[in-house]
Every structure is written in structure tokens, then in C-alpha cells.
Amino acid sequence: MRISSEQQFQQGIDSILTQQAKLNITQEQVASGNRILTPSDDPAAATQVLKLSALIASNEQFERNVIFAQNQLELAEGRLGYAGNVIQRVRELVVQANNASQSNESRAAIGDEIQSRLDELVGVANSKDASGEYIFAGYNAKTIPFVKQGAGYVYQGDQGERLLQISEDLQIKVRNSGADIFQKVPEGDGRFVLTSPASNSGNLLVQTNTSSESVVDTYTLVFSQASATDPVSYQISGASSGIVASGTYQDGESVSFNGISLILQGRPEDSDNYTIVPAGKQDVFQALSDLAQQLKAPKTGGADLAKLGNDLGQSLNGLDQILGSLLSYRSSMGNRLQQLDVRITENADARLRYERSISELKDLDYASAIGRLNMQMTALQAAQQAYIKVQGLSLFNLLR
């Protein structure tokens, strides 16, 4: 087979171009530090790199979510801590007001301060975050959650509890419904509530003590006295339980029934009655508003003061329930913040693993690359020299 000069020249040029292409690739690898410049360099490794890069992108979003969740929970926990301080102050005021030495004027002044504390508490419940969203409004974060309507406050948010994804398999709650926090708190001692009618004419004070074993029922305590010279008797009956206790009243005595204990002090009158009902839910704002109004109203006579004493005693129980509920929510938020601290470390570890895996797949072995670069430069120089030699081969060079 004949090999023409043109074919020889073309083979020489192709060899030079091939060596230049290989050299260029190696130079780009050395410059970038990457072994894989295009997916065709290593399709299997390139696919793994893409998957790992997607995981890193997701991990970065999780890290942003964790930071947002931390900010939200720290803000909410701090505001509930402030709310607890407000309620604790109200409790101190109620203890101060529940004293026989107080006058109508001093109790009214205490009522005014409780009203001011109520306004403070509403401000806490209507707190916003840095983006202007209300943190206790559920999903309706752009709507002010609590507004005054008539004698009470209406919740305009919803029951939504915002969740954030902080890892592939874990979501965390970053917002609670304001209605749950401020309008669905157990009343009384959490099990029962004593009500004292305004129609009572005696000055009896009733202290209730209940336990988790108390039989749930609606109980009525009724006093009776046939004549002024007769002893006062009492009877306690339950709507379902029937008569559970009865006897002759003794000042300062304790009466126990169905897991409930009553300490009775003072002088009841004929037909005076008290009701002990299962505890429901209280609206914190309404409870404080009613308390303030009750203290502002003038009291005359022992019956009014006795009713006030009984009502304030129940208010103290209710305030303890509010404090306990706020503490429970704060504790829950604290637990979630601890989860986030753990998740920060785990997300950072995951990111490090992904980056290490990508490095193992695509990072260049510089020692090997430099050796290959030198070989390719030598090969290119050899191809160039060979081309020059071939180019000089011609019969015309031999003709004289």
C-alpha cells in the first residue's frame, strides 16, 4: 500500500492535535483540582456527585430551617416567660387583695393594676417576629390573633401549628395556637371549681382540696337551720352520687367525700349553698378581666366579703393552672430547642460526610496528574519533532 505525502502530513497533524487535547484536559484538571470535568470523564462517579450535591443542597435548606425554628421557639419561649411573670404578679396582687384589712378603695387600686397587667398580657399574646408575623396566630400569621370584643377577647387566628422540616425524616413544631395557650387553660384546681352564689347571706369560707382519685360529679353543699336556736346542719349530694356527706356544722371542721375535702370556716345561714363542679377551660384574658372588675366593685357586709374570699381562693387556683400551663408550653419549647441543638450537629456531620464523598469521587490526585502532564508534554514534543522530520522527507531534497 502506498502512503502519500499528504497522508503522512495528516497523520502527523492528527497525532499533534491528539496529544494537545490530552494535555489540555490534564492542564484543566490540574488548574481546577477536579478529576471529572464533564460527565463523560466518569459517568458513574458523575452520577454519584450529582446525587450527593442534591443532598448537600437539601442539607443546607435543613440548616436554614433549623436556624429559623430556633429563632421562632426562642422568641415564643421568651414571650411566654414574660407572660408567666405577668401572671405571677397578678397572683401576688390577688393574695394581697384577699386580706380582711383591705378596703374597697385599696381593692379597687389592685383591680386597676390587674387591668393594666391584662393589657400587658394581651400585648404578649399579640407578639410579632422579625418578619412581622404574629407568633401565636397559627397559620393566620398576618392577622392579629386577639382583639377586644365587648367585655372579652376574640381569637382571630386558627388552630394551625406550623411545622418545619429539619432533616430528611424529622419535622418540628415551631408555633402553637394562641387559643390553646391563652383560652384553653384548666380552671379551678384542674379538677373541680367551687361556685359561691351571691344570694348567700352567711360569711362561710370554703377551701377545697381534691385529688386525682376524686369522683367526677357535680356536688351541692346546702346548709339548713330550722330556727335560730337550732344547730346548723349540712348535706352534700352529687348529681349522680346522691348524698355523700351530712351532719351538724362545726366551725373550722373538714368534711371529706369521694376524694374531695372541704375546710369550712365562718358562719353559714339557712339555705346557703355552694356548688362544686368539674373543672372546664378558662380564658386567661376573661379570667383577669373578671377578677379586676370583681375587685373594683364595692363590698358591703360579711356575706359580700365571704363571697369575695371564696372567689379569690378559686382565682388563685386558676392562676396556678395558668402558670402551670405556661410552664408546660415553655418546657415543650425548651425540649424542641434541645432537639434543634442536636440536629445542628447531625446536619453538620452529614454535610461533612457528603463533601468527603464528593471529594473522593472528583478530587484530582495531583502527583499522578503532574506525572501524566509531563508524559503528555513529552509525547506532544515527540509528535511535533516527528512531524518536522516527516515534513523534511522528499525526493526533491536529494536532487542536485
Through-space distance between the first and last CA atoms of the chain, rounded to whole angstroms:
29
pLDDT of amino acid 35: 60
The answer to whether the beta carbons of residues 272 and 223 sit under 8 Å apart is yes
User: 63: phi > 0 → left, psi -120 to 50 → alpha, else beta; which?
Assistant: alpha
Question: At CA 58, angle to CA 53 and CA 63, rounded to 5?
Answer: 120
The answer to whether the beta carbons of residues 274 and 220 sit under 8 Å apart is yes
| Own/partner long-range contacts of 159-164 (Cβ < 8 Å, ≥24 apart) | 162/138, 164/65, 164/68, 164/69
The answer to whether the beta carbons of residues 339 and 61 sit under 8 Å apart is no
3-state secondary structure 141-190: CCCCCEEEECCEEEECCCCCCCEEEEECCEEEECCCEHHHHHCCEECCCC
The dihedral through the CA atoms of 198, 322, 282, 256 has a sign that is negative
Q: How buried is 240 (Cβ within 10 angstroms: 0-12 exposed, 13-18 middle, 19+ buried)?
A: exposed
pLDDT of amino acid 1: 45
Task: Specify the 3-state DSSP secondary structure of 276.
Answer: strand
Tell me how far CA of residue 333 lies from CA of 69, 172, 175, 329, in angstroms: 10, 10, 9, 6
Q: Where are the domains of the chain?
A: 34-190+280-363, 192-278
pLDDT of amino acid 20: 62
Question: How does pLDDT run along the chain (400 residues), one tens digit per residue?
Answer: 455 556 655 665 665 666 666 556 666 656 666 666 566 666 776 677 678 778 888 888 989 999 999 999 999 999 999 999 999 999 999 999 999 889 999 999 999 999 999 999 999 999 999 999 999 998 888 999 999 998 889 999 888 788 889 888 889 999 889 999 999 999 999 999 999 999 999 999 999 999 989 999 999 999 999 888 899 999 999 999 999 999 999 999 999 999 999 999 999 999 999 999 999 999 999 999 999 999 999 998 899 999 999 999 999 999 999 999 999 999 999 999 999 999 888 888 888 888 787 666 665 555 665 666 567 667 656 656 665 666 655 555 555 5
pLDDT of amino acid 192: 97
Write the DSSP symbol of residue 137. Answer: B
The dihedral through the CA atoms of 178, 183, 188, 191 has a sign that is negative
d(CA 285, CA 109): 19
- The string of DSSP letters for 189-252 reads TSSEEEE--TT--S--EEEEEE-TTPPP--EEEEEE-SSTTSPPEEEEEETTTEEEEEEE--TT
d(CA 88, CA 86): 5
Rg of the chain over all Cα atoms, to the nearest angstrom: 42
Question: What residues contact residue 192 under an 8 Å CB cut-off, 6+ apart?
Answer: 208, 210, 214, 260, 276, 277, 278, 279
d(CA 303, CA 265): 13
pLDDT of amino acid 359: 66
Q: How buried is 332 (Cβ within 10 angstroms: 0-12 exposed, 13-18 middle, 19+ buried)?
A: middle
Spatial CA neighbour of 279 closest among 239, 221, 237, 219: 219
Report CA 64 to chain centroid distance, whole Å: 16
Write the DSSP symbol of residue 99. Answer: S
User: 285: phi > 0 → left, psi -120 to 50 → alpha, else beta; which?
Assistant: alpha
The answer to whether the beta carbons of residues 178 and 258 sit under 8 Å apart is no
Please give the CATH architecture assigned to the domain spanning 34-190+280-363: Up-down Bundle (1.20)
d(CA 133, CA 359): 42
